[in-house]
Amino acid sequence: MTDQYTLQDPTKMYADIDTKAQYQEGSGLDAKLRDKADHGEKTYRGTGRLSGRKALITGGDSGIGAAVAIAYAREGADVAISYLPEEKEDAQRIVGLIEAEGRIAVALPGDIVNPAVCREIVAMAVEGLGGLDIVVNNAGKQQFRESLDEITDEQFDETFKTNVYAMFWITKAALPHLKPGSAIINTSSIQAYAPSEMLVDYATTKASINAFSKALAQQLAPKGIRVNVVAPGPIWTPLQTAGGQPPVLLPAVGESTALGRWGQPAELAPAYVFLASPEASYVVGETLNVNGGSPTP
């Protein structure tokens, strides 16, 4: 039985996952991903690094957020996940995996483009978990458009509301509950540094997330609250197959990395565990890039 500590050649991992062209309508379901992503279900081994902690993870139903939810539960945390109501099927599976660890799972459906929903999500997480000390802003919207005039005002607005405004609303609502020692982790992207021509709106939000996080990290450090960022490279998740990239380009996107393959959600979870845990007590305002080897500033 392998786990995340087993020595493996990173160029050869996940050779069995076929990241071929595929497309799904809507926001994308893990359940409908033709070639299943790995969220660490069979491999993530906890060592008590988040024992007794209480975490809210937005977009915890699938992809990176789901891998983080599984890892946090196995590290001993109770976990609330927020997600789009239409992704309930994926969310229920992750709730089951959290509960299988003997931890509390709180399911929070709701569209976070609405500020009232964001505040409600935080309130329900606090109530369901009995407090809050880790906030992972991870939900995101990414829709490729080949030219600027194809980006409607509605898309531009929704991408910003989901990726930037919701992070602001959720963080602001969570702050009164966060005691010294708490951690906020935001999900940026390689797109913040190496923006694709087809992801103008999305890339702009990801650069915003970096700036927001570094500014807020300075402000909250004196209160004992650490803010950090994880910036993933191409990771095999429903978002990518639901219009995040043109389907025909999906194989090339993974091959473009130094490791020559897509990353899997399971490979992101340890970064979020590290930044949430007291091991990272002196790590503030940092962006941890997990991108298969694309140089960043």
Contact set for ligand NAD, span 86-145 (CB under 6 A): 87, 111-113, 138-142
Q: 87 or 201: whose CB is closer to Mg ion?
A: 87
SS3 for 211-258, per residue?
Answer: HHHHHHHHHHHHHCCEEEEEEECCECCHHHHHHHCCHHHHHHHHHCCC
Would residue 282 show up in a list of annotated catalytic residues for this protein? no
Q: 273 or 278: whose CB is closer to ligand NAD?
A: 273
| C-beta contacts of 245-252 below 8 A and 24+ residues apart | 245/144, 245/198, 246/144, 246/198, 247/21, 247/22, 247/23, 248/21, 250/19, 250/20, 250/21, 250/22, 251/19, 251/20, 251/21
Distance of closest approach, residue 284 Cβ to ligand NAD, in angstroms = 21
Q: Which of 159, 189, 241, 277 touches ligand NAD by CB under 6 A?
A: 189
Tell me which of Mg ion, ligand NAD, none is bound by residue 142, counting a contact when its beta carbon lies within the kind-specific cut-off of 5 to 8 angstroms. Answer: ligand NAD
| Catalytic choice (14, 72, 193, 202) | 202
Tell me which of Mg ion, ligand NAD, none is bound by residue 286, counting a contact when its beta carbon lies within the kind-specific cut-off of 5 to 8 angstroms. Answer: none
Question: Which residues bind to Mg ion, rule: CB under 5 A?
Answer: 61-62, 87
Q: Does residue 184 contact residue 137 with C-beta atoms inside 8 Å?
A: yes
Distance of closest approach, residue 278 Cβ to Mg ion, in angstroms = 30
Reference 291, options 208, 201, 191, 183; nearest CA is: 191
Task: Tell me if 19 contacts ligand NAD by CB under 6 A.
Answer: no
Reference 55, options 182, 220, 166, 163; nearest CA is: 182
Residue 137, beta-bridge partner list? 186
Q: 62 or 163: whose CB is closer to Mg ion?
A: 62
List the alpha helices (DSSP H) in 161-226: 166-174, 200-220
Q: Which of 19, 62, 143, 264 touches ligand NAD by CB under 6 A?
A: 62
Could you give phi then psi for residue 137, rounded to 5 degrees?
A: -85, 105
How many CB atoms lie under 10 A from the CB of residue 187? 27
Contact set for ligand NAD, span 206-265 (CB under 6 A): 232, 234-235, 237-240
Q: How many residues does the chain have?
A: 297
Q: 62 or 138: whose CB is closer to Mg ion?
A: 62
Tell me which of Mg ion, ligand NAD, none is bound by residue 213, counting a contact when its beta carbon lies within the kind-specific cut-off of 5 to 8 angstroms. Answer: none
Q: 62 or 210: whose CB is closer to ligand NAD?
A: 62
Q: Which residues bind ligand NAD (CB under 6 A)?
A: 27-28, 59, 61-65, 82-84, 87, 111-113, 138-142, 162, 187, 189, 232, 234-235, 237-240
Active centre residues (catalytic): 202
